[in-house]
Structure 1
Amino acid sequence: MTFTSQGPLLLAGAGKMGGAILEGLLARGLDPRTVIVQDPDPAPAVGDLLADNGIDVLPFIDELTQPPGVILIAVKPQIMEAVLPGLAKLAGPHTLVVSIAAGRRLASFEKFMPGAAVVRAMPNTPAAIRRGITVAVANKRVTPVQRAFADDLLSAVGEVLWVDDEALLDPVTAVSGSGPAYVFLLAECLAEAGRAAGLDAKLAAQLARATVAGSGALLEQSDLSAEQLRKNVTSPGGTTAAALEVLGGVDGLQKLMTAAVAAATKRGRDLAK
């Protein structure tokens, strides 16, 4: 992939997620000479990536010799209001704006960049190993060519799905954006339950980690649904069935997960107000 023909790639925000996408793009052949990074304090690992590829980090950019082909906005939502006016001055008439900032609506960018083609995307943390999933939505200014271009950019860190209704990005964030934390919590709880049952803490942690990781890999590679895979490992009257009677009870895992996703969805909507 190269952005040379459409102008440079301007990365605003060199944190973990912005760095992960840039690393994925570089691995796919992006010319580092076409990259401009604006961040007063990049993450250490990202700083090493930039140094290794000869990419300078600028704390602030007030002008460019050529408008960016793409502005990838990866700054924290809290500082967006301070960052957007400067980025708007750098954008050209054909610049594509791609934001991965949580909780920021398309209208937030259109306010500062009237007439701009904007894609709002929600990746998740497995992007760090290029196993993420991203859901994106485009405003009406985005052309089919620009949408394909954004899809190619975002797919550098995993699968990309598109929705037409921006409101869906709140539950998307609650399921896939926040979802890795739920899985990590499951591993924590499983390890602690093993320890409480008498296992050495280190052994319990190893078992929980390998079980969650291996089950995820099996789920990904199998053509069977999660429901069918669960049934396949559950013998009637066996130990797994006894455990699932607890997890599948009235106040079990489904009720908790539904409430958790609802809470995260509501919080996303509140943050965008």
Structure 2
Amino acid sequence: MTMPPLPGPFWLVGCGNMAGAMLARWLDCGIDRSRLTVIRPSGQPVAEGVRVLTAYPEGEAPALVMLGTKPQKLNEVAPGLSPILNAETVLISIMAGVEQASLKARFPAVRTIVKAMPNTPVRLGKGVINLYSDGGEAEARSLVAGLMGALGRVEWFEDEPQFQAAGILTGAGPAFLFRYIDALAKAGAAIGLDAAQAARLAEAMVEGAAALAAAEEESPHQLAERVASPGGTTRAGLNVLDADEALNRLVQVTLEASLRRSHQMAEAARARE
């Protein structure tokens, strides 16, 4: 994947698990390290050739800034950062639950603010990155899309509530899938397999099944039906999952719980304005 050229300094404010995964992939894709600066209180190095500071560099105006801190840290970050940014700065936020209006209130000079919700497979270039912006310059939005395209599949949303819902599905979704893989492995051990072998088999099976689902025109439901012969072993297991819509209901209430928490976080950010 070819990286778009950076128009100037690119600051990563915070570099936790998600921002770190994004950075690692960008580095693998050949991003210009000389234009990168990670700003984190710990000052801990991230990669060879990438400048790491504990405070904003003086006398430098960033072309791009990505906010990768926890949402609760927004009011700690904004007062020092906002005066440095200008109308030409492109601001990207990956802070879950922080609405566009809350970002605009804290960074009023910035013309282009893009909310991004990536997920952890971005590290392999297999992520899903949802994007939302209610305005901004077309060239700036294109630059953000190019950066995110190196990380995986990019989806733009024109409606912020839909962006928020999509973020739950794809952002939190990997954690739910990891739990299911773990459950499959434990169940395999429970029916007689070696635990380590069951884990390997579950991981390989999910990888292959996901690749097949992405490649086929048939829906995942149809693919499951194709595997399940009448009266066979697969059908016996599907009957358990399908009874009273058990699996569908479980997944729905799981996503609803995460979405409620996202709304609570957005409300908390508004209250701190």
Scaled by the length of structure 1, what TM-score is found? 0.91
The residue aligned with 1:77 is: 71
Assess if the C-alpha contact under 8 Å between 1:62 and 1:86 holds in 2.
no
The residue aligned with 1:196 is: 190
The residue aligned with 1:41 is: 42
What one-letter code is carried by the residue in structure 1 that aligns with 2:96?
A: A
Distance 2:158 2:73 in 1: 27
User: Paired residue for 1:162, among 156, 160, 163?
Assistant: 156
Determine helix, strand or coil for the equivalent of 1:72: strand
Bigger mean CA offset, 17-26 vs 178-187: 17-26
Return the offset for 1:201: 1.8
Determine helix, strand or coil for the equivalent of 1:178: helix
The residue aligned with 2:246 is: 252
Distance 1:64 1:34 in 2: 15
Q: Judging changes above 3 Å, is the alpha-carbon distance between structure 1 residues 76 and 160 closer, same or farther for their aligned structure 2 residues?
A: same
Distance 1:14 1:56 in 2: 12
Deviation string 1:192-247 (CA, Å, 9 cap, x unpaired) is 22222222222222222221122112222333321221111111111111100100
Determine whether 1:237 maps to 2:231: yes
The residue aligned with 1:151 is: 145
The residue aligned with 1:55 is: 50
The residue aligned with 2:116 is: 121
Distance 1:41 1:127 in 2: 24
Assess if the C-alpha contact under 8 Å between 2:67 and 2:93 holds in 1.
yes
Assess if the C-alpha contact under 8 Å between 2:9 and 2:37 holds in 1.
yes
Assess if the C-alpha contact under 8 Å between 1:171 and 1:264 holds in 2.
no
Return the offset for 1:34: 1.2
Determine whether 1:64 maps to 2:59: yes
Return the offset for 1:32: 1.1
Assess if the C-alpha contact under 8 Å between 1:10 and 1:36 holds in 2.
yes
Distance 2:169 2:203 in 1: 21
Q: Judging changes above 3 Å, is the alpha-carbon distance between structure 1 residues 2 and 41 closer, same or farther for their aligned structure 2 residues?
A: farther
What one-letter code is carried by the residue in structure 1 that aligns with 2:116?
A: A
Determine whether 1:270 maps to 2:264: yes
Q: Judging changes above 3 Å, is the alpha-carbon distance between structure 1 residues 33 and 62 closer, same or farther for their aligned structure 2 residues?
A: closer
The residue aligned with 2:131 is: 136
**Number of equivalenced pairs:** 264
Distance 2:123 2:223 in 1: 27
Identity %: 35
Assess if the C-alpha contact under 8 Å between 1:62 and 1:90 holds in 2.
no
Return the offset for 1:29: 3.0
Q: Which runs of 5+ in 1 are unaligned?
A: none
Assess if the C-alpha contact under 8 Å between 1:2 and 1:29 holds in 2.
no
Return the offset for 1:151: 0.4
Distance 1:183 1:62 in 2: 40
Distance 1:222 1:3 in 2: 35
The residue aligned with 2:169 is: 175
Distance 1:266 1:114 in 2: 28
Return the offset for 1:3: 4.7
Determine whether 1:216 maps to 2:206: no
Distance 1:115 1:185 in 2: 42
Scaled by the length of structure 2, what TM-score is found? 0.91
Deviation string 1:85-125 (CA, Å, 9 cap, x unpaired) is 22212212200101111111111211111142100010001
Assess if the C-alpha contact under 8 Å between 1:3 and 1:9 holds in 2.
no
Q: Which runs of 5+ in 2 are unaligned?
A: 268-273
User: Paired residue for 2:92, among 92, 98, 102?
Assistant: 98
Assess if the C-alpha contact under 8 Å between 2:46 and 2:52 holds in 1.
no
